[in-house]
Amino acid sequence: MPELPEVETVMRGLAPAMVGARIEAVELRRAGIRFPFPPRFGERLTGKRIEALTRRAKYLLVRLEGGETLIAHLGMSGSFRIEDMTPGAFHRERSKDPKHDHVVIRLDTGTVVTFNDPRRFGFMDLFATEGLETHPRLSALGDEPLAPGFDAARLAALLAGSRAPLKAALLDQKRIAGLGNIYVCEALHRAKLSPFRPAGDLADARGSPTRAAGALAKAIRAVLQEAITAGGSTLRDHRQADGALGYFQHAFEVYDREGAACSRPACAGTIARDAQSGRSTFYCPECQK
């Protein structure tokens, strides 16, 4: 499933083409994706100017004039494609099979934005912009790890008292929103922390951040920012809005590298894989303590 960097990359790719444009027409090629579309979905979108495009955790938020926001989730295999349909414009080769194009949005600029989702785990919804944080999919989300206030102290406060394994706690979207399996594995390796140690160890008896909390907060931010710069990670389905692949997967230090030598200088460890909460955890038993 796309994680925060992939969704942020998609958002940044869509924004120049969509913000300020008006939706001229919406074509729905099925009654829904993962869930049915909301009532009068196409009608409520048509004619609206797009005021802003933002992200919350793994959700894209398209703020429309008139007081509603389009909420979009990529699911497992969803992607957006931008095509310039003005006469004489260059057309990039399609990056996805058009039989999986489910929503086609035509803008007054001549641009067409298409949502493609072969596995149909994505979804779209419309909700009042005022009070958007009360939407059932958004109301329980935790802190944004790239927010200015996300530091060692905040991370320690979120994890204080938890006996859950550190990796499981970091994947809890009610604590930290947007982190997924790939980037948690990578951040823990950079911080030299075992995915199995108790999460509460990152706060001392007074609730203050330990040195490990500082290292992990810094590693989380660095990994996410580097992945965004690289356009995310393309393991199977993720593509940027222009059809290009992400390439952060070429910088993985532990994820999907079972049996490889640890990349940390002077570490003689070998990357291991263990099952943790039904997911594969990749780590170096030698340097992650």
Task: List residues with catalytic annotation.
Answer: 2-3, 58, 279
Please provide residue 240's backbone torsions phi and psi, each rounded to the nearest 5 degrees: -75, 170
Integer Rg of the chain from CA: 20
Token pair in block for residue 26: 């919406």
23: nearest Cα among 71, 55, 63, 56:
63
Which ranges in 89-161 belong to alpha helices (H)? 152-159
What DSSP designation does 237 have? Answer: S
Asked if residues 283 and 255 have their Cβ atoms less than 8 Å apart, the reply is no
Exposure on the CB side of residue 37, measured as CA atoms within 13 A = 17
> Any bridge partners for residue 276, and if so which?
279
Token pair in block for residue 220: 């989380």
The rounded distance, in Å, linking the Cα atoms of 2 and 178 is 9
27: nearest Cα among 51, 45, 52:
45
